[in-house]
Chain A
Amino acid sequence: MKYDVIIIGAGVTGSAVARELSRYRLKAAVLEKEEDVCSGTSKANSGIAHAGFDAESGTLMAKLNVEGNQMMEALSRELDFPFRRNGSLVLCFSEEDRPKLRTLYERGVKNGVAGLRILEKEEVKAMEPNISDEVEAALYAPTGGIVCPFGLTIALAENACTNGVEFYFDTQVTDIQRADDGWKVVAGETVYETRFVVNAAGVYADVFHNMVSARKIHITPRKGEYCLLDKTTGNFVSHTIFQLPGKYGKGVLVSPTVHGNTLVGPTATDIEEKEGTNTTQAGLSEVREKAARSVKNLPMNQVITSFAGLRAHEDGGEFIIGEPGDAPGFIDCAGIESPGLTSAPAVGKMVAGIIAGKLQPERNPDFDGTRKGILNPAALSKEERAALIKEKPAYGTIVCRCERITEGEIIDAVTRPLGAKSLDGVKRRTRAGMGRCQSGFCSPRTMEIIARERKIPMEQVTKSGGGSGIILGTNKDRL
């Protein structure tokens, strides 16, 4: 198999690169070790479109953050994913810390962040009634936003797919070898010959980089634990509330999500294990304690789930994008930690630009940059909804009672390009199972729909591919 570009990793970065490359007449494929897109770092993060005042001025991180933030709105319309510019606040709790707030403000201005203002206590309290009484001042960034990380990643990947990029799942790259005219990317038994490799492998990006380059890099998985609160808390805060950043990043935030939950987290703990996405007693307690500094009476009894994600932190603390110098045709997207989600659209553009500059490909005349997301019946008027059910009765059956997701939406999620294969796949696309009962009621129904639509037996339906089967046998089968 000969390709122009092989992208390793179907996270938000890989998917953004894939979509940008699909604007050209190129044979490109994405290789993903998991069963679905958005299964690593991209699936477990804060879902924030950062304004861009955190990264040091002049860094790639600062530049791509601001660019990505600016692109997000138009992209959300083109690709139909949830995004909202809710604005963010960085809280300062003491007079001594004011200079730090000032530094952040000045850095933001230098980075090109529009509309930054320092607010005094009263103004902050007027904007956010539940904010801590300890607050002294805050940096307000009106361009800060919230985005659904699944929505963004899936939309990018789907659009890349419909524009001709191939996706191979359950495909773990085991080796990369230099070839005459590029590279041989080995995934088990299969060898993909390609002119370019894009390394968008998240916490594994160092492994692939170090296979081809003598200039070694090192990525530390930096774990962040979160708690997600029920939608009943949807109005607890309306802006994304940060505290002044520390050595390990932006600290614990309290934010609404685009779907109306409240998200609290993350912690920041450096670990060794690249799949170490377990939550810990200590981490969850830390989230609770630190959030209590920002806001009053956070209803932690409304937690519906907790999770952990891994930031791909490179030792240099900067995005590494481009050819390593001693490996032409191998393009890194390494060290993509926060603000990686925000930056992804800009990273995609940058990487596609590098490749297009070298290959000088023709434009893809059939490229269609728009994509319709899964229809959300709740957004329709009563009349429209009635008409929809008449035409497609599956939209009249609620499967997930907590999020009120219909069978029609689940069928759409399973049957569309790069459709869902597992319970988690359906959940990330439709929110079925993401509500307060955490799939207790709907999982057997959703499994039935997946089995029916994909024509597989119930026993083969998994939570998230691989060995994550849900049913292990039938009653009395071993008696």
Chain B
Amino acid sequence: MRQYDIVIIGGGPAGLAAALEAKKSGGQRILILERDRELGGILNQCIHNGFGLHTFKEELTGPEYAARFIEQVEKEQIEYLLNTMVLDISPEKVVTAMNREEGLFEIQAGAVILAMGCRERSRGALNIPGYRPAGVFSAGTAQRLVNMEGFLPGREVVILGSGDIGLIMARRMTLEGAKVKVVAELLPYSGGLKRNIVQCLDDYGIPLKLSHTVVDIQGKERVTGVTLAKVDENRRPITGTEEFYSCDTLLLSCGLIPENELSREMGVVMNPVTSGPVVNESLETSIPGVFACGNVLHVHDLVDFVSQEAASAGRHAAAYVAAEKSGEAAASSITVKPQGGVRYTVPSILRPQRMEEEQILRFRVGDVYKNHYVSMYLNGERLAHRKRPVMAPGEMEELKLKREQLLGCPAGSELIVTIEEA
């Protein structure tokens, strides 16, 4: 069986950054397994700009952002396999994979980094009634057809969901000559970044209908139209508010789901809120030596933060491989509890001895909060109290913690992260 110190599942932004940082941290024998034809993942179809503002302090397109990482991976001579599907990972970290050239093969990994990304919520999962004609696409599928293959999947478009991909696609379809009639959003607020609403809808005069959803899809062969209706506070359509839009295409941008089938099958403990693995400060899952980062861990808004998070996973994986060899003992842990409007935190377990000097806690809120405080309490004692002018579910938040703040606290300690009124 082939042996690698670190095997990274997925060669998108998370996998690439994890591989590079693992290498920089002294990791040897690193292998990236990518199921698609090229490295870079979903960035390859994100030809709009706005990537890299945090990482490179300049605006790049998705492919440009990916290329910066791919170049370094090549330069560092990190091994990767393309068109390679991982079928199984055992708790003993035996990775079973498959491709055309090598057939079915197994790799014994010292550490595994899960970086499989996410998928889009489909029409079926949304339970939208109506016919099932051609012309209903997830926004990402349409993005691939337009941006990578040059095909226009529709001419008159309605978009359901104001997630970032939906907003970006509203602009893209318009630029390619399609008419985007409306973007409908089930919630009373958009799930996308503010800047995308301005740059992709407002600038092109595309209306955004909040608290609206699709209640019917018409057309037996190809979509001929959809019916929108307003929804009440329980997100149920209000009778009498139906409005028909004739169109040939419905794009869906209604949320992303981490692709954790491999993680679940190997027995990793999952967080039902994020649909990603439960991880500690090292971004290590419940299986020692198995790390997770990027959208497979929790869905991000900005790739810069994916890269940052993945780098941390890479560093920790390299340290794990080195420590395992020296047999360093495990440490006691603190549980992080999200409360009062904080939906989750990543990580949710902290072992102060293993923390880096500065630890980032990422989280999302469940509603729109204006002029509220984010507070942190360690065993009842307030560690932080920071005012935020606006927090929304569509924008990930973060807090920074110093290791020294947590060192020496007793086993079984609790760190509460919560939203408080001014």
- Is B302 positioned at the interface, with any CB of A under 8 Å from its CB? no
Cβ-defined contact, B100 with A394, below 8 A: yes
Q: Kindly provide the distance from the CB of A434 to the nearest chain B CB, expressed in whole angstroms.
A: 10
Closest to A475 in B: B176
Cβ-defined contact, B152 with A474, below 8 A: yes
A468-B222 CB under 8 A given contacts A278-B130, A284-B127, A398-B98: yes
Q: Mark B113-127, 1 if CB is under 8 A from A, else 0.
A: 000000110111101
- Is B220 positioned at the interface, with any CB of A under 8 Å from its CB? yes
Cβ-defined contact, B103 with A396, below 8 A: yes
Q: Mark A373-390, 1 if CB is under 8 A from B, else 0.
A: 000000000100111011
Cβ-defined contact, A478 with B177, below 8 A: yes
- Is A397 positioned at the interface, with any CB of B under 8 Å from its CB? yes
CA distance A291 to B241 in the complex (A): 30
A441-B149 CB under 8 A given contacts A304-B125, A476-B177: no
Cβ-defined contact, A398 with B127, below 8 A: no
Q: Kindly provide the distance from the CB of B12 to the nearest chain A CB, expressed in whole angstroms.
A: 13
Q: Kindly provide the distance from the CB of A117 to the nearest chain B CB, expressed in whole angstroms.
A: 37
A385-B220 CB under 8 A given contacts A440-B138, A458-B149: no
- Is B144 positioned at the interface, with any CB of A under 8 Å from its CB? yes
Residues of A within 8 A of B104 (CB): 382, 385-386, 389, 396
Contacting A at CB under 8 A, from B177-225, are 177, 215-217, 220-222
Cβ-defined contact, A396 with B100, below 8 A: yes
Closest to A385 in B: B104
CA distance A397 to B155 in the complex (A): 33
- Is A201 positioned at the interface, with any CB of B under 8 Å from its CB? no
Residues of A within 8 A of B149 (CB): 444, 458
- Is B154 positioned at the interface, with any CB of A under 8 Å from its CB? yes
- Is A74 positioned at the interface, with any CB of B under 8 Å from its CB? no
Residues of B within 8 A of A459 (CB): 151
A398-B35 CB under 8 A given contacts A281-B237, A475-B151: yes
Interface size class of A (residues with CB under 8 A): 35 or more
- Is B101 positioned at the interface, with any CB of A under 8 Å from its CB? yes
Cβ-defined contact, A396 with B98, below 8 A: yes
Residues of A within 8 A of B146 (CB): 475
Residues of A within 8 A of B261 (CB): 402
CA distance A303 to B140 in the complex (A): 20
Q: Kindly provide the distance from the CB of B118 to the nearest chain A CB, expressed in whole angstroms.
A: 10
Closest to A391 in B: B103
Cβ-defined contact, A385 with B177, below 8 A: no
Q: Kindly provide the distance from the CB of B124 to the nearest chain A CB, expressed in whole angstroms.
A: 3
- Is B394 positioned at the interface, with any CB of A under 8 Å from its CB? no
CA distance A138 to B104 in the complex (A): 46
Residues of A within 8 A of B237 (CB): 281
Cβ-defined contact, A471 with B152, below 8 A: yes
A303-B119 CB under 8 A given contacts A281-B129, A467-B222: no
Cβ-defined contact, B129 with A283, below 8 A: yes
Q: Mark A436-477, 1 if CB is under 8 A from B, else 0.
A: 111111011000000000000011001110111111111111
- Is B341 positioned at the interface, with any CB of A under 8 Å from its CB? no
CA distance A438 to B150 in the complex (A): 22
- Is A171 positioned at the interface, with any CB of B under 8 Å from its CB? no
Cβ-defined contact, A228 with B248, below 8 A: no
Q: Kindly provide the distance from the CB of B160 to the nearest chain A CB, expressed in whole angstroms.
A: 14
CA distance A387 to B144 in the complex (A): 34
Cβ-defined contact, B130 with A474, below 8 A: no
- Is A277 positioned at the interface, with any CB of B under 8 Å from its CB? yes
- Is B141 positioned at the interface, with any CB of A under 8 Å from its CB? yes
CA distance A279 to B176 in the complex (A): 32
Q: Mark B4-25, 1 if CB is under 8 A from A, else 0.
A: 0000000000000000000000
Cβ-defined contact, A438 with B122, below 8 A: yes
Cβ-defined contact, B221 with A467, below 8 A: yes
Q: Mark B135-151, 1 if CB is under 8 A from A, else 0.
A: 10010110011100111
Cβ-defined contact, A463 with B124, below 8 A: no
Residues of B within 8 A of A443 (CB): 141
A397-B99 CB under 8 A given contacts A466-B221, A468-B221, A470-B134: yes
Residues of A within 8 A of B133 (CB): 463, 468
Closest to B229 in A: A281
Supply 7 A–B pairs (Cβ within 8 Å), ascending by A. A305-B123, A402-B261, A436-B119, A441-B119, A458-B149, A458-B151, A472-B249
List B residues at the A interface (Cβ < 8 Å): 35, 83, 85, 87, 98-105, 119-120, 122-125, 127, 129-135, 138, 140-141, 144-146, 149-155, 176-177, 215-217, 220-222, 237, 248-249, 261, 264
User: Which 8 pairs from chain A and chain B are nearest by CB?
Assistant: A305-B124, A438-B122, A463-B134, A396-B100, A389-B103, A393-B100, A467-B221, A398-B85
